[in-house]
Amino acid sequence: MERATLARDRRPPVTTLSTRKTTYPRPHLTHEVVNQPPPRVDIDEAAADVALLEAVRRHDASWAVDDLHAVGTLVGSASFQLDAALANTAVPTLRAMDRWGNRVDEVDYHPAYHRIIGAAVAAGAHTSAWAEPRPGANVARAATFLLFAQVEPGHACPISMAHAAVPTLMLQPDVATEWLPRLLSRDYDGDLGDGTKRSAIVGMAMTEKQGGSDVRANTTVAVPAGTGGPGATYLLTGHKWFCSAPMSDAFLVLAQASGPGGEGLSCFLVPRVLPDGTRNVFRIQRLKDKLGNRSNASSEVELDGTVAVMVGEPGRGVRTIIEMVNRTRLDCILGSAAGMRQSVAEAVWHARHRSAFGRVLVDQPAMSSVLADLALESEAATATAMRLARAHDDDAGDEHFRRLATAVAKYWICKRGPHHAYEAMECLGGNGYTEEFPLARRYREQPVMAVWEGSGNVIALDVLRALHREPESLDAFVAETALARGGHPVLDVHLDRVSADARMILAGDPADAERRARRLVEAMSLALQASLLVRFTPTEVSDAFVTSRLGPDRGHEYGTVSAGTDVGEILGRW
């Protein structure tokens, strides 16, 4: 009993919450956040893109530089980047019916998407080159498009299609008179309206389940509502397997025409809203659940007695719509180049603000070699895209060159995009693999450029057809690349090989030509890129590109630039 009493006496006195004074730990102070790069925001993306502004100036568009700085400041702002993130996380949803069961076939977007596309339209990223043609007009428009697509690529699809639809609509003067003023407008209204809208976005719907790229296998039928023929009204019935941006105001589609007005695969304009304000039959069956390009709705649609107007001659639908395809292919190149620009910019920013093992990342030779190699790829893509944009100006007189070179560049640059994005993402380590940083989104985005408007085999075979049908296009291509002769001995050897291989393949067995098409197109693409860099960029850039892509000790992965490469000079342009 005595020991128990003593033990109780040694215990500390009991206190209550109301009487004791306790110091509680302060929250969120387990560590201080250090060695993390600041947000890459509030930057003039045009001013930061040395290669782009150089190309704009050398291709006769210096007059657009001030406007490009305004766009660059906008897309580099924190608010625009937030909108880009929102548009890709709060993705479009289909509203097939209203609450009473009426078909409405509408797609709802986050307001951020409308803000982005509205800004792009206001800046003329869609049709400014058509509205105000002049030397360099397509260069200025391409640079504007690239700046917007660098930060938010999904909206670039309807912007591109609106631009590309113009030359096709011009083939039908009565249709052009009605629609071109609306397409050239810099106002944007995402609502379909009642048919009185003063602005418009025009899309495209060609592919079907059974055909894909083989559009001549299309089964959608077009029956004339009257006598038929160009400019006449038809009723279309069928399906379209991929219809991108289904809230566009009208679509160019392909269908099999019949009747006295002419037969065969033809091109038609399908408005979403008819002149009397009623909705055309345009049943959106579902939205595609895509790997990337999340902010842009892609859909499957059914046409059932859908009102359309024939554009161009009956039976010549592919010929009618081909210029639209060629121009959207150029925008695929621009989109890939935009993605490369974003990828390198984010990777270099990270490496300049992050240290490891006692040194800033950008100062470590292994990392700087990777960054420099990625930068070379981006510079080559930008230089090529802007040269092609200039070739699309009427005053340039480059029709043969642009037709062949656009397909050649589309094949290679768009294929380089996904691997390029992955390598840049790896430069950020674990952060790059998370959705809070933009390169994860970019990595999922880049493959679509290689798929849209002709995947690899389609493009390679198109190049062969162009070479066969227009031999002068090869002469124009060879003449363009020859302007760089004497600039680097390795390039000179490559140019000789490309010219000889192209002519040999054309003269040989057609089946063998198809098997070798990819190799030829790759070699042509590298010849064009290298020749442009040799002509227009600092020697440190062009020499590094030529030796690392064409030289005997070239590697297969990024970061395998040749010994002696001046990585500091290359990265100094970023």
**Digit-coded pLDDT (tens) for 52-95:** 999 999 999 999 999 999 999 999 999 999 999 999 999 999 99
Q: For position 538, what pLDDT does the model report?
A: 97
Q: For position 354, what pLDDT does the model report?
A: 96
User: pLDDT digits over 469-518, tens only?
Assistant: 999 999 999 999 999 999 999 999 999 999 999 999 989 898 999 999 99
- Which positions ≥6 away from 374 have C-beta within 8 Å? 340, 343, 344, 347, 420, 423, 424, 427, 558
Distance in angstroms (rounded) separating the CA atoms of residues 90 and 87: 6
Distances, alpha carbon 281 to alpha carbons 103, 235, 547, in Å = 9, 10, 57
Virtual torsion, Cα 236, 237, 241, 242, nearest 10 deg: 20
- Exposure string for 533-542, b = 16+ CB within 10 A, e = fewer: bbbbbbebbb
Q: For position 213, what pLDDT does the model report?
A: 86
Virtual torsion, Cα 486, 489, 491, 496, nearest 10 deg: 90
- Exposure string for 407-436, b = 16+ CB within 10 A, e = fewer: bbbbbbbbbbbbebbbbbbebbeebbeeee
- Which positions ≥6 away from 27 have C-beta within 8 Å? none
Q: For position 6, what pLDDT does the model report?
A: 43
Phi, psi of 541 (to 5 degrees): -75, -50
CA angle 240, 246, 250 (to 5 degrees): 90
Q: Please check the confidence at residue 9 and state whether its pLDDT lies above 60.
A: no
Mean pLDDT of the 218-235 span: 97
Structure tokens that stand for 314 in this block: 């009956």
Distance in angstroms (rounded) separating the CA atoms of residues 329 and 158: 13
Q: Please check the confidence at residue 175 and state whether its pLDDT lies above 80.
A: yes
The DSSP element (H or E) to which 287 belongs, if any, is strand 283-287
Q: For position 25, what pLDDT does the model report?
A: 65
Q: Please check the confidence at residue 4 and state whether its pLDDT lies above 70.
A: no
Q: Which domains, ranges and CATH numbers included, belong to the chain?
A: 45-183 (no CATH), 202-317 (2.40.110.20), 320-571 (1.20.140.10)
pTM over 0.85: yes
On average, the pLDDT of the chain sits at: 94
SS3 6: helix
User: pLDDT digits over 14-42, tens only?
Assistant: 545 555 666 766 676 778 899 999 999 99
**What is the residue whose two structure tokens read 């079907």?**
208
CA angle 544, 547, 548 (to 5 degrees): 80
Q: Please check the confidence at residue 439 and state whether its pLDDT lies above 90.
A: yes
